[in-house]
Chain A
Amino acid sequence: MIEVPALLPALPEIILAIGALALLMLGVFTGEKSLRTVSALAVLLLLAAAAAVLPGYRDTVVTFGGMFVSDSFGGFCKILILLGSALSIIISVDYLERENLKRFEYPVLIVLATLGMLMMVSSNDLIALYIGLETQSLALYVMAAFSRDSARSTEAGLKYFVLGALSSGMLLYGSSLIYGFTGGTSFSLIAAAVSGSGPVPIGVLLGLVFVMAGLAFKVSAVPFHMWTPDVYEGAPTPVTAFFAVAPKIAAMALLVRTMFGAFPEISDQWQQILVFLSIASMVVGAVFAIVQTNIKRLMAYSSIGHVGYALMGVATGTPDGVKSVLVYLAIYLAMNVGAFALIIAMRRKDGATESIADLAGLSRTRPAMAFALAIFMFSLAGIPPLAGFFGKFYVFIAAIEANLTFLAVIGALASAVSAFYYLRIVKVMYFDEPADAFDVNTGRGITAVATVSALVTLLFFVFPAPIVGAAAYAAQSLFQ
């Protein structure tokens, strides 16, 4: 007789899976007009799942035959992801209604993608890793092409799909090599197989490189970033906002989980790869963003740069490094959701606009919006005392303590270069001749999300302790 696996650790995932089915039925039977109802229920569902994460937050439990792990590292990332998804639904609804994309599948796809992300964060096995990743990616491919009458959106979806399939192939190839040379797919088995004395089998290293390439693609680290600007630009703006936040956090958490869960003993092998990815991402993110004229493209390069800083924290291989990554991701979530809420609000009578020149003189036509966007830009640039500064600060400190001072120096230099294009947006808003005013009616959801995230970004330095403390606690659970 085989015992039933413990289901309680997977409660958030189960809530999302069943809830998504219920929302789908509701949407199918009430038709196109149900977008608002389904969206509101989807937000509630995501918050319910976040509440379900809390009871098991402190314990490390492994279930489903070792495939699934629930611990405080996963809990921290899951709450961030669920918040990110819920906020991106809130800021999407108005846009979807105005752009004639009123389809109830949108929130359902976000819920299903979020389910995949939670599975990624909790994976403790190569099979679980791949299945979680595909659940997420498949929903994201569809969302990129969501505006199917627009050639650019369709192109974005197709590009993302083809390149994503390529990266999945690399990941699978690496996984099969690792399985072949260690005799197991479970992270604990792999860790045991590579921890012994003597050289690590070359096949495991080759597999590790391929798995890292696949994961680097998902976090859009250079040199696997080619898809990011095109997909961010082509996809409908709310979809871009979603892409920039939740999937990034999930993929970064998955990278941390895989490196520290399956290959803790050979950290010197993967550290050098991460150092390279980190430097390349920071530099490319800073330099290529300067010439962009489209704000979504600019945000794509900005997100590539930010991934570089987060990777710096992973590259340290220390608990402090993981803590700094978690703090960075939390701050990144607040800054990006807010900035994208305002980008979604860039709209004139004749439709949405997305060029930087359209922001000219925003301080005179919409002072509050300009002020909030200025806060986010200063924070993204990492100017104290805004939240973005502290994110970079913790990462740099962790890097210096792990004897990676050169990495921190390059990070600081790239940060200085990137400040140029963030500040250019502030300059355009405050010192250029006003362009036509934006539509005043932005919608309550966008206003609320932008206000809250601006406050969080602005006031993080007053109360950093809860987030930093929770991140430190979560990071510890990986090192037991």
Chain B
Amino acid sequence: MILQTITFYLFAAITIAAGFMVIAARNPVHSVLYLILAFFTSAGLFVLIGAEFIAMILVIVYVGAVAVLFLFVVMMLDINFTELRQGFLQYLPIGGLIGLALLIELIMVVGVWQFGPEVAGHAIPQATTNGMTNTEALGNIIYTQYVYAFQAAGVILLIAMIGAIVLTHRTRPGVKKQRISSQVYRDPKTTIEVKKIKPGQGI
């Protein structure tokens, strides 16, 4: 138990520190790297509460795809981040004020938190895992009970892909493409010319 507590506080502290560094780092590439660190440590936190599927998804999807995409964007777009950051001090008072108001509101909301009687009356659905890992439990319903929604979500992704191609793909002339068939069908007769060169003369 003590080990878990220590791990939790360690991971939580790293997550918050990494989150802070995301907005504080001067170099945007470093920001994205800190973001990846935050994702990894949050994945660790999910493992701690027994949600290993979400932990894996977090690493695969967010670190593997989203964060790498961010890195590409940050590296390829020529945005002057120091310019964006100018005037930070000028906006600090109003920003701080908004943050303070938000904090007070949060404290007030959480302070008087209680479930309404009509919510408590209803049975909130509970997961019945029967000793299964939660990956197994998800797999059991996603292809059975929710197969319709799952397949339909696949169609939505397909439409998004077609849409991206329709709206952005252009056939440009003069692009050098690899044509494997023409490479295969090349033969020495058409491409190589053998010349006899007498010694000492050159061509």
Contacts and interface: CB of A to CB of B under 8 A. Distances in A.
Report the interface size class on chain B. Answer: 20 to 34
Contacts of B148: 5, 10, 64-65, 67-68, 128
Nearest to B170: A148
A193 B123 CA distance: 11
29 contacts: A2-B140, A5-B144, A5-B147, A5-B148, A65-B144, A67-B149, A105-B166, A109-B162, A112-B162, A119-B152, A127-B146, A128-B148, A131-B156, A132-B152, A135-B155, A138-B159, A138-B160, A138-B163, A141-B163, A142-B159, A142-B163, A148-B167, A181-B118, A182-B122, A183-B122, A183-B124, A201-B118, A203-B116, A203-B118
A131 B125 contact: no
A128 B149 CA distance: 6
A138 B149 contact: no
A131 B153 CA distance: 7
Nearest to B123: A183
A115 B122 contact: no
A139 B167 contact: no
Interface of B: 116, 118-119, 122-125, 140, 144-149, 151-153, 155-156, 158-160, 162-163, 165-167
Interface string A187-205: 0000001000000010100
A2 B160 CA distance: 32
A180 interface: yes
Nearest to A193: B122
A316 B124 CA distance: 34
A138 B146 CA distance: 21
Nearest to B153: A131
A115 B155 contact: yes
A341 to B, nearest CB: 24
Nearest to A157: B167
B97 to A, nearest CB: 27
B166 A103 contact: yes
A133 to B, nearest CB: 10
Interface in A127-175: 127-128, 131-132, 134-135, 138-139, 141-142, 145-146, 148, 157
Contacts of A134: 156
Contacts of A24: 162
Which label, helix, strand, loop or mixed, suits the secondary structure of the A interface?
helix
B128 to A, nearest CB: 14
Contacts of A119: 152
B166 A142 contact: yes
A112 B159 contact: yes
B167 A142 contact: yes
Which of B118, B124, B145, B159 is most buried by chain A, counting CB atoms within 10 A of its CB?
B159
Contacts of B147: 5, 64
Contact of A131 (B145, B152, B162): B152
In the A-B complex, the 8 residue pairs with the closest CB atoms: A142-B163, A64-B148, A183-B122, A201-B118, A65-B145, A2-B144, A131-B152, A138-B159
B125 A183 contact: yes
A17 interface: yes
Contacts of B160: 138
